[in-house]
Amino acid sequence: MEIIKNISSLETYAVRQPVLRAGKPIESCQFDGDDLPTTKHFGIYNDEKLVGVVSVFNKINGIFNSPSQFQIRGMAILSEYQKKGFGEKLLHHCEAYIKSQNGALIWFNARESAVSFYEKSNYTKVGALFSIPEIGPHYLMKKEIDPQ
């Protein structure tokens, strides 16, 4: 059985490192704002093993007008656990948390290879493909949240 828990920024590295920063130094796993009081990190456990992580930042993107925006970052599932539904459960957990904070808009920079995953949860691309140095091609994606 899987469960989702609040975890620390350091605990995310066990998944960020192999999935998102393979072959890069451990310091590359640290994101700006990781330890702000408004930042939350969630881990999904399968039989007590941490198999996926995601982080939610209370961060405004000036492209959007909404006053209450949250950014999702560092969504990663260990390769041997991908395509089993863990990612979707983590994403929906983030959405429930953001709704509880009265968030109106969720945005993130999605790897091109993950765009279809997010589209299944009704996120839409905004603008053109762009490159994040050393990481690769990305799309800005967003979803508006219905008020509770």
Ligand X SMILES: CC(C)(COP(=O)(O)OP(=O)(O)OC[C@H]1O[C@@H](n2cnc3c(N)ncnc32)[C@H](O)[C@@H]1OP(=O)(O)O)[C@@H](O)C(=O)NCCC(=O)NCCS
Cα(146)–Cα(12) distance, integer angstroms: 29
68 versus 85: smaller Cβ distance to ligand X: 85
In contact, 19 and 114? CB cutoff 8 Å: no
Minimum gap (Å) between residue 113 Cβ and ligand X: 5
The Cα-based distances of 142 to 35, 36, 49, 69, 72 in angstroms read 24, 22, 30, 10, 10
Minimum gap (Å) between residue 14 Cβ and ligand X: 13
Minimum gap (Å) between residue 49 Cβ and ligand X: 14
92 versus 102: smaller Cβ distance to ligand X: 92
- Tell me which residues touch ligand X (CB under 6 A): 19-20, 75-77, 82-88, 110-111, 113-114, 116-117, 120
Structure tokens at 137: 């091609």
Residue nearest to ligand X according to CB distances in the complex: 87
Cα(143)–Cα(71) distance, integer angstroms: 11
49 versus 120: smaller Cβ distance to ligand X: 120
